[in-house]
Structure 1
Amino acid sequence: MSDVTIRVPQDIVQALRLPPDAVQTELQRELAVALYQRGILSSGKAAALAGMNRWEWEELLGSRKIPRHYSEEDLDQDIAYAARGQ
């Protein structure tokens, strides 16, 4: 599969009230957040789509109070993995 281009009409781009050089970055971040919230993208893939490292991505999620998709089962697996390393 190749890259996907989303067309945004110029009047909508202007309505965003963002500097022209920030439009693409902001739209990619918003798409990444929306897809992560809906469970369509993992945190790592959403961070990559947003063009952010994991630390920046986690800060963005925290600032927006977006719950992480991390279950008790995930925690148990992480604890078991860490315990095996000792």
Structure 2
Amino acid sequence: MSLQLSIPDSVLRAIRLPEQRIEQELLCKFAVALYTEKLLSFAKARELAQIDKYEFGQLLAQRQVLRHYGAEKLEDNLRYARIEQYIANPEFSNF
């Protein structure tokens, strides 16, 4: 599924940005808005904005948008870190 939005020419001309930057700026603003409202994940918002993870993280920081990082994600990351530690150093594992 794909969606195209139509923006009237009069509105596009009213946007105070160089013409070559308008599409990218609107994509970024839309992605940040959907992420802020928790309608898109970080990965999908970054995909919509067509920028890499680092750039999207920077964009959120510039706009003072906090990352959505709850207890479940923390547990997943800790579990992953423990597994990686075990693989790297099985003799020092607490498993």
Identical aligned residues as a percent: 36
Match of 1:25 in 2: 24
Answer yes or no: is 1:8 the counterpart of 2:15: no
Query: Larger Cα Rg: Structure 1 or Structure 2?
Result: 2
Range 24-33 or range 68-77, more displaced: 68-77
Normalised to the residue count of structure 1, the TM-score between the two structures is: 0.92
Match of 1:59 in 2: 58
How far, CA to CA, are the matches of 1:15 and 1:69 in structure 2? 33
How far, CA to CA, are the matches of 1:63 and 1:23 in structure 2? 19
How far, CA to CA, are the matches of 1:62 and 1:11 in structure 2? 32
Stretches of 4+ aligned residues off by more than 6 angstroms = none
Higher RCO, Cα 8 Å, sep 6+: 1
Count of residues paired in the alignment: 85
| Cα displacement string for residues 25-56 of structure 1 (whole angstroms, at most 9, x for unaligned residues) | 11111110111111111101100110100000
CA RMSD of aligned residues (A): 0.9
Match of 1:82 in 2: 81
How far, CA to CA, are the matches of 1:26 and 1:64 in structure 2? 13
